[in-house]
Homo-oligomer: A and B are copies of this chain.
Amino acid sequence: MSSPDPLSPGDYRALARFRYALRVFLRFSEDAARSAGVTPAHHQLMLAVKGWDGAGPPTISDLADRLQLKLHSTVELVRRAADAGLVTTAADEADARRQLVALTPHGESILASLSLQHREELRRFRTEMVDVLDELA
């Protein structure tokens, strides 16, 4: 096995720029969520529900995987988001031990507004991101 090509000053600058761009994006995202009246965690939960690409609605353990959270943390997050009127849960008819999660109309509406802002921000972000990733390629 050959050793990897050594790191150049440009590699370090690109890695640092990448992390800075991520931080600016995450800051934007957290501020946008709070301005829409939800916590960043509730926003991410709603996005994971709406963006779920499996057959049928996601279960709580599907969401735990997507959010990279422990199951008990996800259960608690879903409970708080349900209390806030953003999501509903229902037992899976095929397996009553599984809880399926869906958005309420209120959750749909907030997520749509946040998603438009995020799509816009990511369109701006794309150029910077691709530039930096190309420098490291």
A interface residue numbers (CB < 8 A to B): 4, 7, 11-20, 22-24, 26-27, 44, 47-48, 50-53, 66-68, 112, 115-116, 118-120, 122-123, 125-126, 129-130, 133, 136-137
CB distance from A34 to the nearest CB of B (A): 16
CB distance from A123 to the nearest CB of B (A): 6
Q: Which residues of B contact A116 (CB under 8 A)?
A: 4, 7
Copies of this polypeptide in the complex: 2
Q: Which residues of B contact A20 (CB under 8 A)?
A: 48, 66, 68
11 A-B residue pairs with Cβ-Cβ distance under 8 Å, sorted by A, are A7-B112, A11-B115, A11-B119, A12-B51, A15-B51, A16-B47, A17-B51, A19-B48, A24-B68, A119-B136, A126-B133
7 cross-chain pairs, A with B, having the tightest CB-CB distances, nearest first: A16-B51, A12-B51, A126-B133, A23-B68, A12-B50, A13-B51, A16-B47
A15: which of B115, B125, B129 is its contact (CB, 8 Å)?
B115
A67 touching B23, Cβ below 8 Å? yes
CB distance from A46 to the nearest CB of B (A): 10
